[in-house]
């Protein structure tokens, strides 16, 4: 089974504690399709939320947190930080598996990708230990994106440690970025030490989840070209917050440049606008532009829950995605909602 896992993640042999060396399921599953669900008296597996599923999905980007057990400075400390969606008081509470499944009700959640949550930096190993508990207890999430500061002195050691978990597929470390376009100084992706940390990903079989605003996508393109063996997954569509004609033109030009790199994919998520409800009409241009630039095979729909609950309900966001791509073939739709995430993150689920 361990050899199968290594092949699935395309990683070299790493010593993994037995408790974490669990195979990724290759059968169609819902979050309740877990050994615990087969215990005597347990309910049969069912779609998330218990209702009749409208569509099977693999959520390529979500978060979970237990603030009573684990410190997240941005969620626990005062005063709150400046946040791209404005007031985020509603997020400063526990968000656990039952909360996620309630939000996803009406969709059959086949699998999910947990993405690091800006955990307490004083405890760089705690988050994946917490995720290991979740994976072992419920099977949700399916795989995870861990955090390691690529420019830290201990980056090499921490990356190897993160990669030792059989469910870890990628690393996210938000590089230093300017507050807006037009700055001549380079951003964090051009830092020599940061790039040295990035170069350690491919030998460990790890991808890189990149969250940076669109005006740094020229740096992302250079990074992708210099490291063609590393898959880069752009988070949240390149953050197209400025919906003015000028803002959208700049965003499209930047995304066009990075989309030319075949080892770059994109998550269509996190595209809410502060103070506005999430609607298909408001986001149609963003979604269709990304699919045009990257092609269906390199795009994934994702919820970014609970963060994007500040902009709309889960059903409004995924229903909006459905409306926007309603004219696509069923195969293309299934790729966007499910199969691409399974392939890109090597999730081991039946595609």
Q: Cα separation of 7 and 173, whole Å?
A: 25
**Cα separations (Å) of 2 from 44, 131, 343, 346?**
28, 19, 19, 15
What is the side-by-side order of every strand in the sheet holding 264-268? 55-62, 107-115, 143-147, 168-172, 207-210, 232-234, 264-268, 299-301
CB hemisphere CA count around 13 (13 angstroms):
3
Q: Cα separation of 174 and 193, whole Å?
A: 14
Q: Cα 60 vs. chain centroid, distance in angstroms?
A: 5
β-partners of residue 172 are 147, 209
Residues 6+ positions from 113 with CB-CB distance below 8 Å: 58, 59, 60, 61, 62, 141, 142, 143, 144, 145, 169, 302, 341, 345, 347
Could you state, in order of their start, the residue ranges of all structural domains in the chain? Answer: 2-39+47-344
What pTM, to 2 d.p., does this model score?
Answer: 0.86
Contact 146, 135 (CB under 8 A): no
Instruction: Mean pLDDT check: name the lowest of 109-118, 176-185, 337-346.
Output: 176-185
Residues 6+ positions from 50 with CB-CB distance below 8 Å: 105
* Confidence band of 351 (pLDDT split at 50, 70, 90): confident
The arithmetic mean of pLDDT across residues 260-279, rounded, is 96
142-159: per-residue pLDDT in tens? 999 999 999 999 999 999
Q: Cα separation of 38 and 336, whole Å?
A: 31
208-250: per-residue pLDDT in tens? 999 999 999 999 999 999 999 999 999 999 999 999 999 999 9
78-113: per-residue pLDDT in tens? 999 999 999 999 999 999 999 999 999 999 999 999
Ramachandran region of residue 254, left (φ > 0), alpha (ψ -120 to 50) or beta?
alpha
Q: Cα 120 vs. chain centroid, distance in angstroms?
A: 19
Q: Cα separation of 110 and 342, whole Å?
A: 10
Residue 31 has pLDDT above 80, yes or no: no
**Cα separations (Å) of 61 from 53, 98, 104, 303?**
20, 17, 13, 6
Contact 297, 335 (CB under 8 A): yes
Cis preceding linkage at 208, omega within 30: no
Domain 2-39+47-344 belongs in CATH node 3.30.2270.10:
no
């Amino acid at each position: 089974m361990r050899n199968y896992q290594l092949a699935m993640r395309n990683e070299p042999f790493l010593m993994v504690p037995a408790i974490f060396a669990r195979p990724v399921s290759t059968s169609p599953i819902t979050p309740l399709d877990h050994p615990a669900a087969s215990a005597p008296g347990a309910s049969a597996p069912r779609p998330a939320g218990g209702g009749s599923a409208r569509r099977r999905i693999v959520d390529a980007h979500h978060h979970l947190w237990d603030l009573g057990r684990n410190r997240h400075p941005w969620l626990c400390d005062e005063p709150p930080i400046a946040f791209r969606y404005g007031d985020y008081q509603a997020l400063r509470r526990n968000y656990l598996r039952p909360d996620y499944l309630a939000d996803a009700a009406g969709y059959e959640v086949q699998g999910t990708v947990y993405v690091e949550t800006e955990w307490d930096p004083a405890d760089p190993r705690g988050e994946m230990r917490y995720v290991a508990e979740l994976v072992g207890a419920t099977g949700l999430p399916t795989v995870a994106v861990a955090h390691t500061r690529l420019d830290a002195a201990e980056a090499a050691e921490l990356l190897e440690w993160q990669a030792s978990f059989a469910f870890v597929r990628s690393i996210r470390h938000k590089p230093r970025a300017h507050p807006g376009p037009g700055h001549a100084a380079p951003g964090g992706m051009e830092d020599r030490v940061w790039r040295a940390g990035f170069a350690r990903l491919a030998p460990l079989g790890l991808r890189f989840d990149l969250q940076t605003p669109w005006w740094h996508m020229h740096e992302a393109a250079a990074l992708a070209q210099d490291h063609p063996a590393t898959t880069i997954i752009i988070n949240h569509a390149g953050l197209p917050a400025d919906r003015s004609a000028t803002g959208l033109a700049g965003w499209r030009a930047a995304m066009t440049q990075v989309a030319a790199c075949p080892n770059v994919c994109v998550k269509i998520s996190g595209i809410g606008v502060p103070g506005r409800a999430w609607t298909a009409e408001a986001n149609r241009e963003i979604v269709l532009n990304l699919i045009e630039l990257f092609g269906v095979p390199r795009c994934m729909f994702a919820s970014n829950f609970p963060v994007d609950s500040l902009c709309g309900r889960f059903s409004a966001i995924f229903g909006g995605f459905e409306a926007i791509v309603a004219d696509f073939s069923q195969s293309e739709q299934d790729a966007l909602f499910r199969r691409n995430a399974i392939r890109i993150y090597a999730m081991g689920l039946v595609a």
